[in-house]
C-alpha cells in the first residue's frame, strides 16, 4: 500500500514537473530574456526595416489610474507603430526598487524602466541607463519642459530620463473645523502662504485629544519606511533656510548640521512631543475621516476622495491652500519618469515609445487620466482647470517655489539619513545635535562609497 | 566469516547512504552553497548592486563593519529578540501542547485554532498586526482603552517596539511549535507515566522526571530551529515597522537587505552577512554540543 | 492544587489562547466584508468595532472580476508550484533524513554539519547570487527557478531525522539479514512509522511555498505567472491601500490550508503505532 503511494507520488511528481517545464518552454520565447527581440530581426535593424516586429519590455510600479493611462497610450502607440510591441509589466509598488535593481544586477532589465527622479543619478552613475540628449534634440521638445524638471533629471550635464509628470504637495484643511473654532481660513494665494507659526497656532486650537483629533499632520503618509517620508520632510529643512549638501555635493558637514537645520528640527520635535498636535502614527485616511484638521497631499488626493469619500466635499468640508513656509517658500518636487536601460538592444524604438508617452500629446493624455501635475508647459496651457482652483495652487507653487531633491548618486544614503533623522527627533525625541551628527555621518559614508 | 559479511554490509550501507543523500546534496550544493560562496567573494569587493564591473577591496568592508554603529545596533536587536523569543515561545508552545495532548471533546477544534495563525502568510500577518497596533485607531488599543488600560504604542515608541514584533512572532509560531511538541509528546509511552504514578509521583514531578527528559531530542530540535529562525527574522520587521521607529527594530537581516537593495552596497551587505554567519555558526555549535548527549549523531 | 480548581483553569487557558490566536484572523475576515470607509472608522469599544455595519461582498467580487489581475490564475500558479515542491521535497528530504538518522557511513558527521550550516544563512543574503545563477541557467521567468532550488529544505531534513531516529536499529538489521535492500527497508519499514511526521512536513512545506514572496517577486517577470503573495501585495500602492481587497484575498488564500489542516490533524497527532518496539 505504501509502496503504491510512493510510486504514485513519484509519478505525479514526474508528470507535474514535466508539465511545468514544457508549459513554460512553450510561451517562453520572447519573455525569457527581456529586452531581446525575436530571433528573426537582428540587433542592428532599427525602425527602418518595418517588416520585423520589435518587442520592448517596460516595467513600472503598480498604480491603478496610471495603469489605465498606460493601456490607452500603449494601444495608440502600437496602432501607429505596427512594428513595435510593448510588453508592459507592473510591479507591486513597494517592491519596485528591489525588483528593478535585481534585474539590473543580473544584467537582464527591461528596455524601458520607470524611475523616480531622485534615484536617477544612482542609475546614471553606474551607466545602467543611457543619456537622452540626442533624442531630445531630435524630437523631444525639451524647451517645453519646466525648468525644475530638467534640473531634476540632469546628471553630469546630461539628461537621463523623460518625465511623465511632476509633483508637489499643498496644504489641505478641514473647513468645517476651522469655521467651528472661528479660525480665519488660509489664503489661496501662493504668494501669501501661512508661516509655520501661523499653522501651529491654528493647529493648537484645532487639536482635540479627547475626540482623537489632531491639529496638524505635516507629511502625507506619516513616518513611513519609503521615500514618501523624506520627500516631504526635506521641505522643512529648505524652508528654514538650511541646505543638505554643499554646492559641489561632496559633503554634508556644515550644511546639514547648520543652525537653520536645528531650528527646523526643534520645531518638528515640538509638533510631536511638545505641543503634541501631530500624530506619531498616522492612521489610514485620517484627514478624510475627520481625525486630522490640517493635512498635506498631492493632486491625486481629489480623485481618491471622490472615489472613496464622496460625502466629504471640496469647498464644503475641506479646502486647499498653499504649503506653509518659514524664511523661504519651498515645496519639494520631482516625480516619476521613464529611462532607457543600457542593456536595451533597441534604444531608438524605445525612445519612440518614451517620447510617445511623455511628449507633448502624450503628456496631455496622461494628465487627463491621472490628474498628476504636468511636466510640460504646453500641457499646463492646454487645460483650463490647471489655471483654476484648486489645481492652480499646485501649478503656481510648482512653477515659482519648486525645489527638486539633490541630484547625486549618493541619494539613497541621503534619503535614508533624512528619514531616520526626522524619526529620531520626532518619534524618538532624541537629542537634535546627536541625531544631526548621525545623519551627517551616514551621508558622508554614502558619498565615500562612491569614490573608493 | 562474520567479519567478511559485515564488511560487505558496511560497504553496501555506505553506498546506499550516499545514494540516499545524493539528490539533496546536489541541490544543496548547487543552489545554496554555490551562491553562498559567491556572496563570500562579493564581500571582498566594492560591489555596487547595479554596476557592470566590480573591484576587489580586500577586507575593507569587514573593517568598516566594526565601526558601524548601525550594524552593531542591529546585532543587538537580533540577539535581544532571540533571547526573549526562545524561552517564551518554547514555554508557551509546550504548554499548549500539554493542554491539547489528551483527547477530550473539542480537542481537535482547539488544535486547529492554535494552528490557524500559522496558516496565514507571515507577510499578511505582519500587515494585519501593523493595523491592529496603531496607537489611536488600532483594534488592540481600542480594546485596551475600552477596558481602562493605557494604550500601547508599539509602532511609535522605540522602547517597546521590539516587544510588539516579539508578540507578533510568538503569536504566529506558537501553533507550529505546538505541533512539533505534540508529536514528541506522543512518543512517550503511557506506561512510563503509569509507572511514575504508581511510584507516587504527582503531576509536576511526572512532568520533570518523565516528560522533559524524554522530550530532550524534540527540545533540542525546537531550540536550534527557533534560534536560527529568530536570528534571521526579517519579514515582520520589513512590513510592520520598517526597521523603526527610529531604527529600533532593525535586525541584522533587515540591515543587510537595506544595505544591499536601498543603498545598493552589495559588498558591504555581504560582509555583514558573513560576519553574522560566523557568529551564528558558533552559537549553533555550542547548542549542538549542549544537546549532544541524547541525540543520535 | 485540587481537581476542582484545575479543570476550569485549564479551560480558561484553552479559551484564552484560542481567543488570542483567532482574534487578528477574525478582524481580517470581518474587514474583508467591510467597505473601504468603514474599516478604520470605528475606534471605540462597540458593536461596530467587531461586526461590519454594512456587509458587502464587493471586495471579493472585485478581486475575482478584475481582468488585469486574474486572481484565480494566481491561485492556480501557486498551487502548481507548492504541490510539486512538496511532493519532490518529501521524497528528497526524507531520503536524506533516513540516511542521516539510521545509516552508518563515513563522513556522516561532516556531511551533517554541512547540511545544518546552511540553516544559518538568511535567504536575503544569497538572493542576488541565486538570481545570477538562475540567469546563467536561463531560468528567469520560468517556474523551474521557483521549484528546483526550493526542493531541498534542510529544516525538513532535520525534523525528519528526529522522527526516524526512533526506529530501533535492531529491526533494520533484522531486515538486512533477511536480505532486504536499503531502499525496501526505507519504503516499507521506516516510512510508515513516520507518517505523522511526513504529513506534518508536507503541510509545512506547502505552507512555506504558499507564503513565498521575495523570491517569486524577483524571478518571475510576467504578472500572469505570478504567485499569490506577490499578487496580494500589488493591492498596495503608494496612495491608497485597498485593505478590504487585501483582507479578502488573504482570507481566500488561507482557507485551503486550514481545510487541509483540519482534515489531517487527526492523523499526525496520533501516536506512532509500532507494536512491540517500545518498552
* Residue B110 CB neighbours (<10 A): 18
Residues B148 and C47 sit within 8 Å (Cβ to Cβ): no
Which tens digit of pLDDT belongs to each residue from A204-257?
A: 999 988 888 999 999 998 898 888 899 999 999 999 999 999 988 889 998 999
- Report chain B residues whose CB lies below 8 A from the CB of C186: 20
Residue C238: is its pLDDT beyond 60?
no
C237 and chain A in contact, CB less than 8 A = yes
Cell of C36: 473601504
* Helix locations, A240-384, DSSP H: 259-269, 300-308, 347-358, 360-370, 377-382
Name the residue among C156, C152, C121 with its Cα closest to residue B281: C121
Chains touching C (3+ CB pairs < 8 Å): A, B
Which domains does chain C carry? Answer: 66-278 (1.10.3720.10)
Q: Name the pLDDT band for C43 (thresholds 50, 70, 90).
A: low
Residue A16: is its pLDDT beyond 80?
no
Task: Give the list of residues 6+ apart from residue B4 with CB closer than 8 angstroms, or none.
Answer: none
Q: Name the pLDDT band for B22 (thresholds 50, 70, 90).
A: very high
Give the Cα separation of A376 and A386 in Å (integer).
12
Which tens digit of pLDDT belongs to each residue from C161-220?
A: 888 887 788 888 888 888 888 888 888 888 887 887 888 888 889 988 988 888 998 899
Q: Name the pLDDT band for A26 (thresholds 50, 70, 90).
A: very low
Predicted confidence at residue C243, as pLDDT, reads 79
Task: Give the list of residues 6+ apart from residue A396 with CB closer than 8 angstroms, or none.
Answer: A190
Chains touching A (3+ CB pairs < 8 Å): B, C
Predicted confidence at residue C271, as pLDDT, reads 39
CB contact under 8 A, B247 and A424: yes
Predicted confidence at residue A376, as pLDDT, reads 92
What is the ipTM metric for this complex? 0.85
Residue A161: is its pLDDT beyond 90?
yes
Residues A110 and A34 sit within 8 Å (Cβ to Cβ): yes
Q: Name the pLDDT band for A452 (thresholds 50, 70, 90).
A: low
Residue B6: is its pLDDT beyond 80?
no
Predicted confidence at residue B195, as pLDDT, reads 85
Tell how strand A292-297 and strand A214-216 pair up.
parallel
Give the Cα separation of A64 and C235 in Å (integer).
9
Chain C: give the shortest CA distance to residue B57, in Å.
19
Of B57, B244, B262, the CB nearest to A223: B244
Q: What percent of chain A has pLDDT over 70?
A: 88
Judge residue B209's burial from the number of C-beta atoms within 10 Å of its C-beta, 0-12 exposed, 13-18 middle, 19 or more buried: middle
Residue A7: is its pLDDT beyond 50?
no
Predicted confidence at residue B42, as pLDDT, reads 92
Q: What percent of chain B has pLDDT over 90?
A: 39
Give the Cα separation of C156 and C93 in Å (integer).
7
Chain A: give the shortest CA distance to residue B246, in Å.
5
CB contact under 8 A, B50 and A424: no
Give the Cα separation of A170 and A212 in Å (integer).
24
CB contact under 8 A, C132 and A300: no
Letter string b/e over residues A339-353, b meaning 16 or more CB atoms within 10 A of that residue's CB: bbbbbbbbbebbbbb
Average pLDDT over residues C95-106: 88
Task: Give the list of residues 6+ apart from residue A12 with CB closer than 8 angstroms, or none.
Answer: C87
Instruction: Point out the least confidently predicted range of A47-51, A289-293, C195-199.
Output: A47-51
* Helix locations, B67-160, DSSP H: 69-99, 107-119, 122-132, 139-146
Give the Cα separation of A107 and A102 in Å (integer).
9
B292 and chain C in contact, CB less than 8 A = no
CB contact under 8 A, B258 and A416: yes
Predicted confidence at residue B1, as pLDDT, reads 52
H/E stretch holding C264: helix C243-269
Cell of B120: 496565514
Give the Cα separation of A327 and A159 in Å (integer).
32
Which tens digit of pLDDT belongs to each residue from B131-159?
A: 889 887 788 888 888 888 888 899 989 99
Which tens digit of pLDDT belongs to each residue from B78-102?
A: 999 999 999 999 999 999 998 888 8
Q: Name the pLDDT band for A46 (thresholds 50, 70, 90).
A: very low
Residue A38: is its pLDDT beyond 60?
no
Predicted confidence at residue C2, as pLDDT, reads 60
Predicted confidence at residue A21, as pLDDT, reads 36
CB contact under 8 A, B124 and C176: no
CB contact under 8 A, C218 and A108: no
C126 and chain A in contact, CB less than 8 A = no
pTM passes above 0.90: no
Which tens digit of pLDDT belongs to each residue from B30-57?
A: 999 999 999 999 999 988 988 888 889 8
- Report chain B residues whose CB lies below 8 A from the CB of C233: 123
* Look-up of cell digits 486630522: A292
Give the Cα separation of B165 and B171 in Å (integer).
10
Q: How far is CA B199 from CA A204, A247, A417, B209, B240, in A?
A: 73, 85, 67, 12, 52
CB contact under 8 A, A428 and B258: no
Of B135, B136, B246, the CB nearest to A428: B246
Chain A: give the shortest CA distance to residue C260, in Å.
18
Amino acid at each position: 500500500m505504501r509502496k503504491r503511494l510512493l510510486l504514485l507520488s513519484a509519478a505525479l511528481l514526474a508528470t507535474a514537473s514535466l508539465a511545468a517545464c514544457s508549459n513554460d518552454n512553450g510561451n517562453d520565447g520572447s519573455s525569457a530574456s527581456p529586452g531581446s527581440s525575436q530571433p528573426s530581426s537582428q540587433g542592428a535593424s532599427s525602425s527602418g526595416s518595418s517588416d520585423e516586429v520589435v518587442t520592448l519590455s517596460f516595467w513600472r510600479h503598480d498604480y491603478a489610474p496610471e495603469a489605465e493611462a498606460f493601456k490607452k497610450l500603449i494601444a495608440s502607440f502600437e496602432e501607429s507603430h505596427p512594428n513595435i510591441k510593448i510588453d508592459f509589466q507592473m510591479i507591486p509598488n513597494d517592491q519596485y526598487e528591489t525588483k528593478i535593481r535585481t534585474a539590473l544586477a543580473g544584467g537582464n532589465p527591461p528596455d524601458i524602466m520607470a524611475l523616480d527622479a531622485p534615484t536617477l543619478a544612482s542609475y546614471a552613475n553606474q551607466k545602467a541607463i543611457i543619456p537622452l540628449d540626442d533624442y531630445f534634440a531630435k524630437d523631444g521638445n525639451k524647451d517645453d519642459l519646466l525648468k525644475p524638471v530638467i534640473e531634476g533629471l540632469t546628471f553630469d550635464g546630461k539628461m537621463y530620463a523623460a518625465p511623465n509628470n511632476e509633483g508637489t504637495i499643498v496644504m489641505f484643511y478641514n473647513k468645517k473645523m476651522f469655521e467651528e473654532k472661528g479660525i480665519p481660513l488660509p489664503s489661496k494665494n501662493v504668494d501669501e502662504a501661512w508661516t509655520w507659526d501661523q499653522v501651529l497656532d491654528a493647529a493648537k486650537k484645532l487639536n482635540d485629544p479627547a475626540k482623537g483629533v489632531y491639529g496638524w499632520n505635516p507629511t502625507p503618509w506619516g513616518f513611513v519606511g519609503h521615500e514618501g517620508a523624506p520627500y516631504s520632510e526635506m521641505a522643512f529643512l529648505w524652508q528654514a533656510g538650511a541646505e543638505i549638501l554643499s554646492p559641489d555635493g561632496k559633503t554634508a558637514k556644515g550644511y546639514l548640521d547648520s543652525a537653520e537645520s536645528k531650528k527646523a528640527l526643534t520645531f518638528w520635535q515640538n509638533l510631536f512631543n511638545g505641543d503634541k498636535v501631530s500624530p506619531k502614527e498616522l492612521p489610514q485616511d485620517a484627514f478624510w475621516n475627520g481625525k486630522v484638521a490640517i493635512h498635506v497631499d498631492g493632486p491625486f488626493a481629489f480623485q481618491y476622495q471622490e472615489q472613496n469619500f464622496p460625502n466629504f466635499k471640496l469647498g464644503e468640508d475641506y479646502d486647499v491652500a498653499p504649503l506653509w513656509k518659514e524664511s523661504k517658500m519651498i515645496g519639494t518636487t520631482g516625480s516619476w519618469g521613464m529611462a532607457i536601460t543600457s542593456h536595451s538592444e533597441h534604444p531608438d524604438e524605445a525612445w519612440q515609445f518614451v517620447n510617445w508617452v511623455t511628449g507633448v500629446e502624450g503628456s496631455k493624455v496622461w494628465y487627463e487620466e491621472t490628474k498628476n501635475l504636468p511636466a510640460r508647459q504646453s500641457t499646463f496651457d492646454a487645460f483650463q482647470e490647471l489655471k483654476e482652483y484648486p489645481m492652480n495652487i499646485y501649478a503656481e507653487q510648482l512653477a515659482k517655489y519648486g525645489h527638486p531633491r539633490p541630484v547625486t548618486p549618493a541619494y539613497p544614503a541621503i534619503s535614508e539619513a533624512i528619514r531616520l533623522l526626522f524619526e529620531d527627533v520626532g518619534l524618538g525625541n532624541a537629542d537634535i545635535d546627536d541625531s544631526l551628527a548621525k545623519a551627517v555621518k551616514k551621508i558622508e559614508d554614502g558619498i565615500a562609497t562612491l569614490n573608493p | 566469516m562474520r567479519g567478511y559479511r559485515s564488511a560487505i554490509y558496511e560497504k553496501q550501507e555506505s553506498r546506499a547512504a550516499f545514494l540516499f543523500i545524493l539528490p539533496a546534496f546536489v541541490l544543496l550544493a548547487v543552489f545554496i552553497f554555490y551562491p553562498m560562496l559567491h556572496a563570500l567573494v562579493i564581500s571582498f569587493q566594492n560591489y555596487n548592486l547595479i554596476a557592470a564591473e566590480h573591484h576587489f577591496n580586500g577586507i575593507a568592508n569587514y573593517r568598516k563593519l566594526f565601526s558601524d554603529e548601525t550594524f552593531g545596533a542591529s546585532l543587538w536587536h537580533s540577539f535581544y529578540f532571540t533571547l526573549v523569543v526562545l524561552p517564551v515561545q518554547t514555554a508557551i508552545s509546550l504548554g499548549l501542547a500539554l493542554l491539547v495532548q489528551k483527547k477530550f471533546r473539542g480537542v481537535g477544534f482547539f488544535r486547529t485554532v492554535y494552528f490557524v495563525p500559522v496558516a496565514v502568510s507571515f507577510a499578511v500577518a505582519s500587515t494585519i498586526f501593523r493595523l491592529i497596533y496603531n496607537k489611536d485607531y488600532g483594534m488592540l488599543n481600542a480594546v485596551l482603552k475600552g477596558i481602562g488600560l493605557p494604550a500601547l504604542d508599539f509602532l511609535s515608541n522605540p522602547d517597546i517596539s521590539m516587544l510588539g514584533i516579539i508578540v507578533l512572532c510568538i503569536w504566529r509560531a506558537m501553533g507550529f511549535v505546538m505541533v512539533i511538541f505534540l508529536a514528541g509528546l506522543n512518543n512517550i509511552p503511557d506506561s512510563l507515566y503509569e509507572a511514575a504514578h504508581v511510584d507516587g509521583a504527582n503531576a509536576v514531578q511526572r512532568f520533570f522526571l518523565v516528560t522533559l527528559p524524554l522530550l530532550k531530542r524534540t527540545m533540542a530540535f525546537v531550540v536550534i530551529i527557533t534560534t536560527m529562525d529568530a536570528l534571521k527574522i526579517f519579514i515582520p520587521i520589513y512590513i510592520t515597522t520598517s526597521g523603526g521607529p527610529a531604527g529600533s527594530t532593525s535586525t541584522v537581516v533587515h540591515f543587510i537587505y537595506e544595505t544591499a537593495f536601498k543603498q545598493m552596497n552589495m559588498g558591504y551587505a555581504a560582509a555583514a552577512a558573513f560576519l553574522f554567519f560566523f557568529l551564528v555558526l558558533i552559537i549553533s555549535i555550542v547548542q549542538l554540543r549542549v544537546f549532544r548527549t541524547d541525540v543520535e549523531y | 492544587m485540587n481537581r476542582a480548581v484545575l479543570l476550569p483553569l485549564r479551560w480558561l487557558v484553552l479559551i484564552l489562547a484560542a481567543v488570542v490566536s483567532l482574534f487578528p484572523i477574525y478582524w481580517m475576515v470581518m474587514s474583508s466584508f467591510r467597505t473601504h470607509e468603514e474599516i478604520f472608522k470605528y475606534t471605540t469599544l462597540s458593536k461596530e468595532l467587531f461586526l461590519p455595519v454594512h456587509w458587502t461582498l464587493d471586495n471579493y467580487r472585485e478581486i475575482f472580476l478584475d481582468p488585469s489581475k486574474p486572481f484565480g490564475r494566481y491561485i492556480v500558479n501557486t498551487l502548481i508550484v507548492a504541490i510539486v515542491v512538496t511532493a519532490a521535497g518529501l521524497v528528497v528530504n526524507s531520503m536524506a533524513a533516513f540516511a542521516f538518522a539510521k545509516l552508518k557511513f563515513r563522513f556522516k558527521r561532516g556531511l551533517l554539519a554541512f547540511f545544518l550550516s546552511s540553516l544559518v544563512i538568511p535567504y536575503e543574503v544569497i538572493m542576488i547570487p541565486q538570481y545570477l545563477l538562475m540567469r546563467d541557467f536561463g531560468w528567469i521567468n520560468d517556474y523551474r527557478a521557483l521549484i528546483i532550488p526550493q526542493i531541498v529544505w534542510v529544516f525538513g531534513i532535520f525534523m525528519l531525522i528526529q522522527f526516524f531516529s526512533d526506529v530501533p536499529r535492531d529491526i533494520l538489521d533484522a531486515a538486512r539479514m533477511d536480505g532486504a535492500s536499503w531502499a525496501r527497508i526505507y519504503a516499507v519499514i521506516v516510512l510508515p512509522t513516520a507518517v505523522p511526521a511526513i504529513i506534518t512536513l508536507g503541510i509545512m512545506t506547502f505552507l512555506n511555498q504558499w507564503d513565498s514572496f521575495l523570491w517569486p517577486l524577483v524571478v518571475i517577470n510576467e504578472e500572469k505567472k505570478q504567485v499569490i503573495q506577490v499578487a496580494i501585495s500589488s493591492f498596495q500602492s503608494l496612495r491608497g491601500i485597498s485593505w478590504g481587497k487585501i483582507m479578502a484575498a488573504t482570507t481566500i488564500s488561507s482557507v485551503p490550508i486550514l481545510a487541509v489542516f483540519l482534515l489531517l490533524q487527526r492523523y499526525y497527532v496520533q501516536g506512532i503505532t509500532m507494536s512491540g518496539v517500545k518498552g
